[in-house]
Structure 1
Amino acid sequence: MNPSTPESAPQALDIAIIGAAMAGATLALALAKRAKALGRPLRIALIEAHEQGSGHPGFDARSIAIAHGSVTELKRLGLWSLLAPLGCAINDIHISDRGHFGMTELNRDGFDLPFLGQVVELEAVGQKLLAAVKDAGITIYCPDGLRELASDSDGHTLTLESGVRLRTKLLVAADGLHSRVRECFNLPLESRDFAQCGLVANIGCDRPHGHWAWERFTDTGPLALLPMQDSAGQHRLSLVWALPPEEAERLASADEALFLSQLQRAFGSRAGKFISVGKRHVYPLKLSFMPRPIHHRCVFVGNAAQTLHPIAGQGFNLGLRDVVDLLQVLDSALVAGTDVGEHSLLHHYLELRTDDRNQTLCNIEALVRGFSNQYWPLVAGRSLGLRLLSWCPPLKAPVASRAMGWRRGKRLSENC
């Protein structure tokens, strides 16, 4: 889908977005809707290296949990209606520490909510978002990637792998952990290696999940099961299991009976009996982040800015907050018809993101290290902490606020 030819002059743009997975496609659609509402012309291009259905890393076999607060934001942006038919509600969450007394629950009724989150399958989401991008008339170059990047005071000139050249005032990098944009600018990326891999698969169960999600902390790391829509009459759960790399590879290649027995032993019987497993995938688990996710006329969002361990299911939810804050700072330029790449806007974006981003990154690292450690004082402390949440429900509010995607400083009721 390349709407121009390599021989043409650079196409003039206001915003070029590299990466058309969840963050990039959501941003493009929200910008197009806002520009249309304002009656302002906005020249947007979306550049994506992978064709839909060809192993796109942003729309693969995984499922993700979209927190209640994120669903609220997507509704406000007019985008949730695209994804709602794909969602499976999380109404209750059970959290436990295997082999220890600590456990607690988060329940929708306790917060007077219709649900705590929604689980969607990324491959199906990709199809919906790509169709919406086409319907919105957004220029998309796919499959095509960034080959060269030249910058000056007024913007960037992009040369794509196809030879197409684009000229943009603002460049948004939504191209994931191995960002080509970050590579072109030679910008730093810090990381924390947890020496774990995530084993991901869809699990068939002998009974309905009842819209429960489970997070179980084991001696190798967290094990999460998310409810999924039934398929062909089968009750399904989405598994993310943090394991040492060699153990993850062993279980990924184990026969089905052995895998299911090992999973049942690690998790227990709260979800019923596991009876089948789909294709298994293994991903390295690291915490990676850019210390400063802006550059000259360039903003990094989603996994290009930070990639999280899945322990708290916050990856897309944090990335969506990147998108929402970027939309907020760009809105003044859209209303006034001024330069969308002006440096004061980008610094305003950085100010908006700093506290939320830093707090989330610190919380994730503390959770991973605290719940993947068998040092007995830590075990006793985390078990007591989980019990306190059960014994004293008011203590759950700040935990729920983070888990369900409420923004900094907001009360629970403000997003209900």
Structure 2
Amino acid sequence: MTATNHMDTSVQHVDIAIVGGAMAGATLALALARLSLSAARPLSIALIEAHLPDKQHPGFDARSIAIAHGSIFELSRLGLWPKLAHLGTAIENIHVSDRGHFGMTELNAAQFHLDALGQVVELERVGQVLFNELNKSEVKLYCPAKLAQVEPAVEGHSLVLDTGERLKAKLVVAADGLQSKVRSSFDLPVTQVAFEQTAIIANIQTDKLHQHWAYERFTQTGPLALLPMADSQGQPRLSLVWALDDARAKQMQTAPKAEFLAALQQAFGYRAGTFIDVSARHAYPLNLSYMPRPIHHRCVFIGNAAQTLHPIAGQGFNLGLRDVVSLLEVLKTALDQGDDIGSAAVTHAYLNVREHDRNSTIRNIEFLVRGFSNQYWPMALGRNLGLRLLSWFPPLKTPVAQKAMGWK
């Protein structure tokens, strides 16, 4: 690994430059380094990341995420899950309910002959592990460094960093999030849907062991999710994602602790026990953002740069990881055939592979957000009947569980 932040006017030529080193970008960089070891020809890989992996990193912050069973399978294939497994807390059961209505259902790992439906990890701790692995790899890491300018060219784009360094890459992979500098540099279109909701993110201490249960509860203001976490100093913890309208979220973010816990308890109920403490609260505006075509000349967009999802089903990283896996497969084929890895044939192959999964996931999540936040009685009746049917007829759960577990 090479880490630099000094002025340098020479040009570094690389095969692939990844812009953005959060979950998707760091995972891709490590997977490409592994692929390079067995590829027909070695790859030179650069990773450009603006922030060191600490509490100030927007991609490795205080949030926890659920890594679905299918994603763990893929991370294991890439050799990464063994490095992260010790950070995970298993989700063995998921309880889904609709507040104020009769609809509820459960998904249980044992029903599908699995140890767990997924694992919950804290992003800050994951970031430390991934960057430790990058330090041991052959990836050229430019951190902290920001992309200042992209100079397009037929044979490969030139990237100018705010450190003064310059790179030329046959393929640029944009993993630089919702406000992608790469996307804006090429002036590419992005579709955005505002849900007029804000997510309150925090860790909750309870008086009851979670026993590896996760909860998804739909309320009038939006979904409320609680994920099992590792205990802290012997105290049971749950990771909270609470979607509220913007005004209520602002109120709840600054409300006294007792008031916040009472409001949360009223919204969720006592199925997970009594809420006795809450960590620092963070607020994130909730929007759906996606690129109709996440490719450009010698450029591919992955993760949140390609699509940013509402957290209603916890599919953000899981979808982004499928971007990573698909890109790896396309690049491996190109390397095996001796093709130009930045060619239009390669970028369009990636587009074709990803189109169905991306579009169906985005459609399903928008339907869930609108359907479960709508109190129009026919809509409420329909969704509650659907939840009840899942309980009454377990075989119907299989496709739902497959989506929840990150299988296409």
- Paired with 2:340 and 2:18, the residues of 1 have a C-alpha distance of 16
1:316 corresponding residue in structure 2: 317
Question: 2:354 aligned with 1:359, yes or no?
Answer: no
Partner letter of residue 73 of structure 2?
T
2:407 corresponding residue in structure 1: 406
Question: 2:263 aligned with 1:253, yes or no?
Answer: no
Contact map agreement 2:203 2:278 (CA 8 A) in 1: yes
Instruction: Give 3-state SS (helix, strand or coil) of 2:183's partner.
Output: helix
Partner letter of residue 137 of structure 2?
A
Q: CA deviation at 1:41?
A: 2.0
Instruction: Give 3-state SS (helix, strand or coil) of 2:232's partner.
Output: coil
2:158 corresponding residue in structure 1: 157
Instruction: Give 3-state SS (helix, strand or coil) of 2:65's partner.
Output: strand
Contact map agreement 1:6 1:165 (CA 8 A) in 2: no
Instruction: Give 3-state SS (helix, strand or coil) of 2:239's partner.
Output: strand
- Paired with 1:123 and 1:179, the residues of 2 have a C-alpha distance of 21
2:113 corresponding residue in structure 1: 112
Contact map agreement 1:189 1:290 (CA 8 A) in 2: yes
Query: 1:20-50, CA deviations, whole angstroms, 9 ceiling, x for partnerless residues?
Result: 0000000000010011123732110000011
Contact map agreement 2:7 2:165 (CA 8 A) in 1: yes
1:87 corresponding residue in structure 2: 88
Partner letter of residue 62 of structure 2?
A
Q: CA deviation at 1:333?
A: 2.4
Query: 1:235-256, CA deviations, whole angstroms, 9 ceiling, x for partnerless residues?
Result: 0000000000110110110111
Aligned-CA RMSD value: 1.1
Query: 1:112-153, CA deviations, whole angstroms, 9 ceiling, x for partnerless residues?
Result: 111000000000000000110111131111110111111111
Query: 1:65-94, CA deviations, whole angstroms, 9 ceiling, x for partnerless residues?
Result: 000000000001111011100000000000
Instruction: Give 3-state SS (helix, strand or coil) of 2:366's partner.
Output: helix
Query: 1:219-275, CA deviations, whole angstroms, 9 ceiling, x for partnerless residues?
Result: 111000000011111100000000001101101101111111110010000000100
Instruction: Give 3-state SS (helix, strand or coil) of 1:327's partner.
Output: helix
Question: What is the aligned length?
Answer: 407
Contact map agreement 1:195 1:285 (CA 8 A) in 2: yes
Contact map agreement 2:40 2:336 (CA 8 A) in 1: no
Q: TM-score, structure 2 length as denominator?
A: 0.98
Instruction: Give 3-state SS (helix, strand or coil) of 2:354's partner.
Output: helix
Question: 2:124 aligned with 1:123, yes or no?
Answer: yes
Structure 1 residues 252 and 38, CA, compared in 2 at 3 Å: closer, same or farther? same
1:61 corresponding residue in structure 2: 62
- Paired with 2:208 and 2:187, the residues of 1 have a C-alpha distance of 51
Query: 1:152-190, CA deviations, whole angstroms, 9 ceiling, x for partnerless residues?
Result: 110100100011000100000000000000010011111
Moved more, 7-16 or 161-170: 7-16
Contact map agreement 2:5 2:143 (CA 8 A) in 1: no
Identity %: 62
Q: TM-score, structure 1 length as denominator?
A: 0.96
Instruction: Give 3-state SS (helix, strand or coil) of 1:186's partner.
Output: coil
Instruction: Give 3-state SS (helix, strand or coil) of 1:401's partner.
Output: helix
2:329 corresponding residue in structure 1: 328
Q: CA deviation at 1:61?
A: 0.4
- Paired with 2:341 and 2:7, the residues of 1 have a C-alpha distance of 26
1:40 corresponding residue in structure 2: 41
> Which structure 1 residue ranges, 5 or more long, are not aligned?
408-416
- Paired with 2:53 and 2:371, the residues of 1 have a C-alpha distance of 38
Question: 2:228 aligned with 1:227, yes or no?
Answer: yes
2:30 corresponding residue in structure 1: 29
- Paired with 1:43 and 1:182, the residues of 2 have a C-alpha distance of 23
1:411 corresponding residue in structure 2: none
1:342 corresponding residue in structure 2: 343
1:74 corresponding residue in structure 2: 75
Q: CA deviation at 1:4?
A: 7.5
2:193 corresponding residue in structure 1: 192
Question: 2:237 aligned with 1:218, yes or no?
Answer: no
Instruction: Give 3-state SS (helix, strand or coil) of 2:230's partner.
Output: coil
Structure 1 residues 406 and 148, CA, compared in 2 at 3 Å: closer, same or farther? same
Q: CA deviation at 1:335?
A: 2.7
Contact map agreement 2:200 2:249 (CA 8 A) in 1: yes
Q: CA deviation at 1:388?
A: 0.3
- Paired with 1:216 and 1:310, the residues of 2 have a C-alpha distance of 13
Instruction: Give 3-state SS (helix, strand or coil) of 1:6's partner.
Output: coil
- Paired with 1:20 and 1:112, the residues of 2 have a C-alpha distance of 35
- Paired with 1:120 and 1:298, the residues of 2 have a C-alpha distance of 30
Instruction: Give 3-state SS (helix, strand or coil) of 1:346's partner.
Output: helix
Q: CA deviation at 1:8?
A: 3.7
1:368 corresponding residue in structure 2: 369
Q: CA deviation at 1:54?
A: 4.8
Q: CA deviation at 1:7?
A: 3.4
- Paired with 2:160 and 2:199, the residues of 1 have a C-alpha distance of 35
Instruction: Give 3-state SS (helix, strand or coil) of 1:152's partner.
Output: coil
1:397 corresponding residue in structure 2: 398
Contact map agreement 2:5 2:145 (CA 8 A) in 1: no
- Paired with 2:53 and 2:404, the residues of 1 have a C-alpha distance of 30
- Paired with 1:351 and 1:241, the residues of 2 have a C-alpha distance of 35
1:172 corresponding residue in structure 2: 173
1:49 corresponding residue in structure 2: 50
1:414 corresponding residue in structure 2: none
- Paired with 1:349 and 1:230, the residues of 2 have a C-alpha distance of 41
- Paired with 2:52 and 2:233, the residues of 1 have a C-alpha distance of 27
Contact map agreement 1:35 1:334 (CA 8 A) in 2: no
Instruction: Give 3-state SS (helix, strand or coil) of 1:143's partner.
Output: coil
Map 1:134-145; keep pairs closer than 5 Å.
Answer: 134-145=135-146
> Which structure 2 residue ranges, 5 or more long, are not aligned?
none
Map 1:263-342; keep pairs closer than 5 Å.
Answer: 263-342=264-343
